[in-house]
Amino acid sequence: MHVVHTIAELRQHLQAFRKPAFVPSMGNLHDGHLALVRQAQPLGDVTVASIFVNRLQFAPHEDFDTYPRTFEADCAKLAEAGCNLVFAPNEKEMYPEPQGYKVHPPAELADLLEGHFRPGFFIGVSTVVMKLFSCVFGATPGGVALFGKKDYQQLMVIRHMVRQFVLPIEIVGGETQRADDGLALSSRNGYLSAAERAEAVQLSLALKAMAAEVEAATDLPAARESLEARAMHTLARRGWRPDYLTVRRRSDLQPPEAADAQPGKLVLLGAAKLGGTRLIDNLEI
């Protein structure tokens, strides 16, 4: 496995290949990231991962400065998972001057749910992903990029961006990886205390309980707000501070209509704070 820190080095290494399979990350890797790396291997002729903590997607009050940096451990995990090339630029390499040009995804997709509670988040995500795509695929005919379904809205934003900019990149979603008790793996799970970690599975359990109510509803549009409110109240009684637990259409993350109450159409999404840690999860139904 090669590790490079500049765009020039990255492109030099990629000159011999025609179809990179790319897994972007902010490091502090867990089995969810490594599953994406393994999924990527048969999809291209070289497997590339990036490690870059992107300041643009953090609000001033969020955890950019304290976000775990575990570079050496990350590289060891990537090598074991079969990654061929790691791109680990510093901020000056990625942003040699203030990033005046930014990608603004459409409000109807990016300003709800995560975008509502983290204003500007998807501008930061879209901008850095577009820039990483330019770095990785700029010297190739195209390729494949993989993103985990745990960040469901992010995956949708990136899919729409690639389609609208006609980028020669296939976006592949990887299934959410979970601990034995059902907690979705996340780099931020490390912030949880032992007691919080035991409690954290309640977010996925709340989504499963919502799924049963959704599937039993005879008039989903009429019942949606009340079942969402019950799910949020259940978590709040346990000491959580929920931002949202909601049922949406998979296609555009808008509230479902009657015709959407059928298999393959819906996704449940949740975000809530437990202590000082904000967790997200989702469940396709």
DSSP string, 14-53: HTT-S-EEEEEE-SS--HHHHHHHHHHGGGSSEEEEEE--
| Confidence band for 57, pLDDT divided at 50, 70 and 90 | very high
Residue 227 dihedral angles phi and psi, to the nearest 5°: -70, -30
| Token code pair at residue 272 | 């809530």
Residues 6+ apart with CB under 8 A from 162: 169, 171
Q: Dihedral angle at the C-alpha atoms of 142, 97, 29, 185, nearest 10 degrees?
A: -90
| Confidence band for 222, pLDDT divided at 50, 70 and 90 | very high
| Nearest C-alpha neighbor of 205 from the set 183, 221, 185, 186 | 183
The answer to whether the CB of 267 falls within 8 A of the CB of 176 is no
- Inform me whether the pLDDT recorded for 18 exceeds 90: yes
How far is the C-alpha of 249 from the C-alpha of 257, rounded, in Å? 9
Q: Is 5 a catalytic residue?
A: no
Once rounded to an integer, what is the mean pLDDT over residues 235-252? 97
Once rounded to an integer, what is the mean pLDDT over residues 248-272? 94
How far is the C-alpha of 269 from the C-alpha of 152, rounded, in Å? 8
> What are the structural domains of the chain?
2-174 (3.40.50.620), 187-284 (3.30.1300.10)
| Nearest C-alpha neighbor of 144 from the set 266, 37, 265 | 37
- Inform me whether the pLDDT recorded for 261 exceeds 90: no
**Residue located via tokens 């400065």:** 65
- Inform me whether the pLDDT recorded for 71 exceeds 90: yes
Residue range 144-171, pLDDT digits in tens: 999 999 999 999 999 999 999 999 999 9
Residue range 183-201, pLDDT digits in tens: 999 999 999 999 999 999 9
pLDDT value, residue 262: 86
Residues 6+ apart with CB under 8 A from 197: 183, 189
Please identify which of the residues 2, 13, 30, 33 carries the catalytic annotation. Answer: 33
What percentage of the chain exceeds 70 in pLDDT? Answer: 100
Reported pTM: 0.95
Neighbours of 178 (CB within 10 A): 16
Q: Dihedral angle at the C-alpha atoms of 151, 156, 157, 162, nearest 10 degrees?
A: 130
- Secondary structure element (H or E) that encloses residue 277, with its range: strand 277-284
Using alpha carbons only, give the angle 142, 36, 161 rounded to the nearest 5 degrees. Answer: 45
**Residue located via tokens 């975000």:** 271
| Confidence band for 61, pLDDT divided at 50, 70 and 90 | confident
Cα distances from 79 to residues 21, 90, 185, 270, in angstroms, run 15, 21, 20, 33
Cα distances from 23 to residues 20, 116, 164, 273, in angstroms, run 10, 26, 21, 27
Burial 45-61 (b: 16+ CB within 10 A, else e): ebbbbbbbbbebbbeee
Once rounded to an integer, what is the mean pLDDT over residues 103-125? 97
